[in-house]
Amino acid sequence: MKIVVTGGAGFIGSHVVDAYIARGHEVAVIDDFSTGSRAHLNHRATLYALDILDPSLPKLLSEISPDVLSHHAAQMDLRRSVADPLHDARINILGLIHLLEGCKDLGLKKVIFASSGGAVYGEQEAFPATEDRPTRPSSPYGVSKLTGEHYLGYYQKAFGIPYIALRYSNVYGPRQSTAGEAGVVAIFIHQLLQGKTPTINGDGKQTRDYIYIGDVVEANLRALETSYTGALNIGTGCETDVLTIFHQLRDKAGSRVKAIHGPPKMGEQRRSCLDTSRAEEVLKWSPRTSLSAGLEETVAYYRQVQA
């Protein structure tokens, strides 16, 4: 198949590109490198260095005429979305609409959308959350991701474009940025290996559902093969608090550094955990990487990168 991957030089997108190419698909990457890295780009992919809001995008999509759109380009910083919701909406909502408008008459067979299980549910009432639980995002980022799902539903009904919204939990692993606010695992590892003092926001008892990048990639591969339309949780069903993550990483990094605590961040929910039963049924998929093994792999990667 011919697949367009937006954000294909980013953390998750670049791993997905590698997997698609390894399966023999023809992949075009659209990335403006605002957060992605050329070092992560697969040399067998065709690169178009372009913003997804660029006026030339519809013409480019028409020339490529993809079978599948895998949309990973996004403003993904929850805290920036709180500080600048217009910027978040411009990229995550208008950017998606621009892509769908460019693809709606091209005979697109499927859209695979990187959504956020951690953000669209907001403060959960049940743990783990199923796809049928109420969606009450507590941040503009969560609102924009959920709005994207609604637009995909509209384009499916109006133009017959099937879609899968993969609601990722907290993805971690090699290639994740160690800068900014995204990816506490990568940030902690970088700081521990550098002998710096990590800051834990709040009391550190807030929980997340941490899933290894390899399991997320496998879900994206299987999403190509299903006729299912709608949202699917992609997580582990296990809650882990930030303090536990820090202590495990400190042990694996061989560090004795102690963390300090800062104030809690606005827009962050207290607990997050996803039920993946539907993905297991629809995709015949389940996470296979334990948290300990995934963290071990990730520490080894950054140890090599920083050597």
Considering the candidates 141, 155, 210, 212, report the single residue annotated as catalytic: 141
Mention every residue, 6+ apart, whose C-beta is less than 8 A from residue 14.
Answer: 8, 36, 37, 40, 41, 42, 175
Yes or no: say if 141 and 182 are a contact pair by the CB < 8 Å rule: no
CA distances to 22, 29, 143 from 3, in Å: 13, 9, 27
Cα distance between residue 208 and residue 224, in whole Å: 27
In residues, how long is the chain? 307
Yes or no: say if 113 and 156 are a contact pair by the CB < 8 Å rule: no
Closest among 170, 145, 15, 151 to 74, alpha carbons compared: 145
If one counts every other C-beta atom within 10 angstroms of the C-beta of residue 295, the result is: 24
Cα distance between residue 2 and residue 287, in whole Å: 27
- Is position 141 annotated as part of the catalytic site? yes
Cα distance between residue 142 and residue 134, in whole Å: 13
| Residues with catalytic roles | 141
